[in-house]
Structure 1
Amino acid sequence: MLIWLASYPRSGNTWLRLMLHDILTDGQSRPGGRAARNGFAPIVSSRSFIERQTDVQTSDLNDRELNACRRAAHDIAAGKAAAPFFVKVHDNHQPVGAGEDGLFSPAAGSLAIYLLRDPADVAVSLAGFAGIDLPRAVDILCDDHASRSHITRQPHHDQVAYHLGRWSNHVSGWLSRPSDQVLRIRYEDLHRDPAGQLRIVIGRLGLNVSQARIEAAVERTRFDHLSRQERRHGFNEAPAGRIFFRGGRIGDGRRLLSDADFARLVAANGAVMTAQGYAVRRPETRPETSR
């Protein structure tokens, strides 16, 4: 079966994948991109993943055919997996257009682990990752038509285009799955108590892992360790010339977004922010303009 590691970009997906990989390999892996290079939790928008499952050349397909091919790839991978097979996904759970089948059929995977993060902090992290200003990052989180191409202008290489949509629709889509098919993990909780949140994930997966092994994985994947590893050896998911592990702080968005940008973010996403425990008001002390 497939285990979806799903999130809006810049919400902690890679960090969780590195921790899980460390746990599952009992510390034999090391940070710095090895999880991805070793094939752990490949992203499902990868052309190589789709083509390996379906034996279809993705470059030959139109958008509707590609959507059907991707759905088939998920079903095939799920059918072949004798043990839990982790995959990363940033796609919106909902169909891109009216009348289209969704990418995620009930047959493909029994559990989605959904990483959720305060959208104000997502905007700050996204701006740094994509090399854009904060107003543009907020635009993306408020855009029903946002896609991978809005985040990076670099060639897709081994990834097909994927649909994100606005932050609130992305969250609602994944969390609309039946309760036995989705586990919500808030980035803020993972940041404050990584070992406790990993214990929840491991328990939901039905794996027998000691607390000592979990705590060792947390120590080996601390942000300062990951950042140091990246500066020494690079990281395969970082955009050219930019840093992937920027610090992972909580609360930057509410300090750094301008009043106007924060108001736009709330206007487009406020109902879901409130439902997921994120305040739609901000601290009184803050800069007056975006940086």
Structure 2
Amino acid sequence: MLVWVASFPRSGNTLLRIALHRRYGVTSSVVYDHDGVAGRLGGELIGYTERPGSLAEMRAAAGPHFVKTHRPRDEDVDDADAAICLVRDGRDALVSWARLLSEDDPASFPAVLRRRITDTDGRSSASWGTNVLSWLRPAAAHRVVLSYAELIADPAAAADRVMAVVAPGVRADLDAVIPRFEQLRQVDAGFFRRGVVGSHRDEFPPALLELFWSRPDNRAAMQVLAASGTS
């Protein structure tokens, strides 16, 4: 069984992988050839594992195999695949990603943010709105939506809710401790940067915010999140 852990970058994917690893003993691989996050933070923290086989082989296995992706839902994803779809306000996610990408050159932040807003490369992450809509439309019972706000507020409860949908046979270790965001900041404050909802309010340049809203896919995705109460 294959379970996608899917999100646009900086939407809580790493925090969820940590929570699943600590509470359920779940390990996760990535759809990419290299897991840069595991390389930066350490594979043990996030429960990283190498892919045990092809996507088809993992899909055919009896037990669940969790695979992280930041790509839009594409030809690698079977319509019947289970998925945890992490969603975060696009303005917050884009600001956070641009800050991370420009951490070695903070002055490049506006230019990096502009490129991330306008990116359309589907083998990367595509634009925020295109990415989110690909996973949320059409809705499916085996694709569970988890908001960044819910995850940040209570990682254990968030992990419990999604696991009840995608892998109900896996039991939780109720005594397991999931690191608080403040503790994760001690591991890497550049990666675990703010951990708040609404970070765009004091970071998103007004002209680039207009560019964000000029994209029809972004407007449509924000409307979907607002309607579902996950924005």
Shift of 1:170: 0.6
CA drift at 1:179: 1.1
**Distance in 2 separating the partners of 1:105 and 1:8:** 19
Query: Structure 2: which amino acid aligns with 1:224?
Result: E
Determine which of 55, 77, 93 is the counterpart of 1:74: 55
Shift of 1:249: 1.8
d(CA) in 2 for partners of 1:44, 1:210: 25
Per-residue Cα deviation, 1:106-128 (whole angstroms, up to 9, x for no partner): 46xx3110110111111221122
Identity of aligned residues (%): 28
1:113 matched to 2:81? The reply is no
Q: 1-side partners of 2:17 and 2:2: how far apart? A: 14
CA distance in 1, matches of 2:199, 2:114: 14
For structure 1, the residue ranges without an aligned partner over 5 or more in a row are 26-34, 54-72, 95-101, 148-161, 232-242, 279-291
Equivalenced residue count is: 205
Stretch of structure 1 that moved more, 131-140 or 260-269: 131-140
* Partner SS, residue 30 of structure 2: coil
8 Å CA contact 1:4, 1:86 repeated in 2: yes
Alignment-mate amino acid for residue 192 of structure 1: A
- How far apart are residue 229 of structure 1 and its match? 2.8
More contact order relative to length (CA 8 Å, sep ≥ 6): 2
- TM-score, normalised relative to structure 1: 0.63
- Aligned residue for 1:42? 29
- 5+ residue gaps in structure 2? 36-49, 103-107
Q: CA RMSD in A?
A: 2.5
Secondary structure of 2:66's counterpart equals strand
Q: Which residue of 1 aligns with 2:224?
A: 275
TM-score by length of 2: 0.78
Equivalent residues in 2 for 1:198-213, closer than 5 Å: 198-204=159-165, 205-207=167-169, 209=171, 212-213=174-175
- Aligned counterparts of 1:106 and 1:123: Cα–Cα separation in 2: 28
1:209-244 deviations in whole A, cap 9, x for unaligned? Answer: 46844xx43xx321111121347xxxxxxxxxxx22
Residue 98 of structure 2: SS of its match in structure 1? Answer: helix
Tell me which structure has the larger Cα radius of gyration. 1
Distance 1:263 1:200, change over 3 A: same
Q: Residues 146 and 158 of structure 2 are in contact (CA less than 8 Å); yes or no, is this contact kept in structure 1?
A: yes
> CA 1:199 to 1:105, structure 2 compared with 1: closer, same or farther past 3 Å?
closer
CA pair 188-103 structure 1, distance change in 2 beyond 3 A: same
Q: Distance in 2 between matches of 1:254 and 1:164?
A: 23
* Other-structure match for 1:104: 77
Q: What does residue 140 of structure 2 align with?
A: 179
Note if contact 1:135-1:261 (Cα within 8 Å) is conserved in structure 2.
no
Runs (4 or more) in structure 1 with deviation over 6 Å come to none
* Equivalent position amino acid for 2:226 in 1: G
Compared with structure 1, are the counterparts of its residues 210 and 84 closer, same or farther at alpha carbon in structure 2 (3 Å cutoff)? closer
1:84 equivalent among 39, 42, 64 = 64
